[in-house]
Amino acid sequence: MRPLDGIRVLDFTWVVAGPVTTRILADLGADVIKVERRGSLDFGDRRGGLSGSLMRGKRSILLDLNDPRGLDLARRLAAVSDVVIDNFSARVMTNLGLDYDALVQIRPEVICVRMTGFGLTGPDRDHVSYGPTLQALTGYTLLMAEPDGPPAGFGYSYSDLAGGNLGALAVLAAIWHRRRTGRGQLVDLAQLETVAAVLGPVLLERALQGGASAPAGNASQEAPAAPHGVYPCAGEERWIAITVFTDAEWERFADAAGGPAWTRDTRFATRAGRVRHAAELDRQVAQWTRGQKAEEAMALFQRAGIAAGLVANAEDLCARDPQLAARRHFVEVPTPEGRTVRIDGPPFVLSETPGAVSGPGPLLGEHADEVLSGLLGIGAEEIAALRAARVLG
């Protein structure tokens, strides 16, 4: 069994953040029915890879929601679903008559998740956004940079992942709440707030101590540490991340590195000294790491009990990392066409009722017939007529 066996999710989400939420629900055993539109954005092969990892284990039905017959089918599916979720701008579901006030009429205990950029209330509620613009508004873009340097990060929409993963927590909590109270509810998830909620203590610091945040490169944001950051290794684009917090760790680090003269520099003998002279220390460490293979230096330091790790690129992560391989983080999934595709699996493990990739990503509209006949009892003739009218894809 899986934790969400018997839960049905009607999933209007697209792009990344919403699909991230519903893929976790699918991994946990929910029946996720993805309601899709013609010509909506995807990222190539729907079975595996990026799109497949976002849509894994979901069923797909293509409905024309601009046609009253299509909208009626969506409403009837909502009436037999536990969770209805979208990540459109706030007004879209309201205009379609699929917002919480409408859904609760046909499914009183529905959990309705509205995943928007800015939420359902507030002066900016109709602003349009994507992950990168939300990261810009919340400080990530400005502060992921070298000291005094121009913005340099994120290279991707982390905000969609933070919002999507937190969205799954929201749905699970709402399901728990419904089991105990019998009540469904509206969930107002503003991705601006999810990504603000994971900033960390910096907001308290600015609120209480004033001042302006400035980029700090790869300096530690937890306990003071030096050396701390990434250092170049032998070869092209090979880097190692190293963190040394304590004096005991520093001694082990120095021994592991073979005790070069600079490790005995008295300026580096204490944590305070190392942090004060971090720039000089970083230069020395980098000079040493340049002669090392990243994997070998990582193993050397880890054997000495030092937090050190390869800065993994896609190939390191997906094809070389023995730890993720041992934990079967990436899984091979057969497709109905007889191919095998690679897909990201759930990143946490439950010992008794584990989540699992239920299947590859669906083709557009692949499950229309089984969804309409199985859930709504619609016959083959009517399905054919709906398809001929292009209400159904």
Subset of 55-84 contacting other proteins (CB under 8 A): none
| Alpha-carbon torsion (58, 63, 66, 67), positive or negative | negative
Whose Cβ is closer to other proteins: residue 318's or residue 383's?
A: 318
Q: Which of these ranges, 62-70, 141-149, 262-270, 363-371, lies near other proteins under the rule CB under 8 A? A: 141-149
SS3 72: helix
**Which of 14, 88, 245, 268 lies at the binding interface for other proteins (CB under 8 A)?**
245
Residue 262: CB minimum distance to other proteins, A: 20
Whose Cβ is closer to other proteins: residue 70's or residue 163's?
A: 163
- The answer to whether the CB of 97 falls within 8 A of the CB of 71 is yes
**Which of 74, 233, 308, 392 lies at the binding interface for other proteins (CB under 8 A)?**
308
Token representation of residue 22: 């519903």
| 342 touches other proteins (CB under 8 A) | yes
Token representation of residue 279: 């720039």
Closest CA to 243 of 277, 269, 278: 278
| 104 touches other proteins (CB under 8 A) | no
Strands 239-243 and 228-232: antiparallel
| 37 touches other proteins (CB under 8 A) | no
**Which of 71, 104, 141, 265 lies at the binding interface for other proteins (CB under 8 A)?**
141
CA distance 60 to 14: 12
| 40 touches other proteins (CB under 8 A) | no
Residue 185: CB minimum distance to other proteins, A: 4
Strands 330-334 and 185-190: unpaired
**Which of 71, 145, 269, 363 lies at the binding interface for other proteins (CB under 8 A)?**
145
CA distance 126 to 118: 7
Catalytic annotation on 45? no
Burial (CB < 10 A; 0-12, 13-18, 19+), residue 269, is middle
| 127 touches other proteins (CB under 8 A) | yes
Active-site residues, by number, are 160
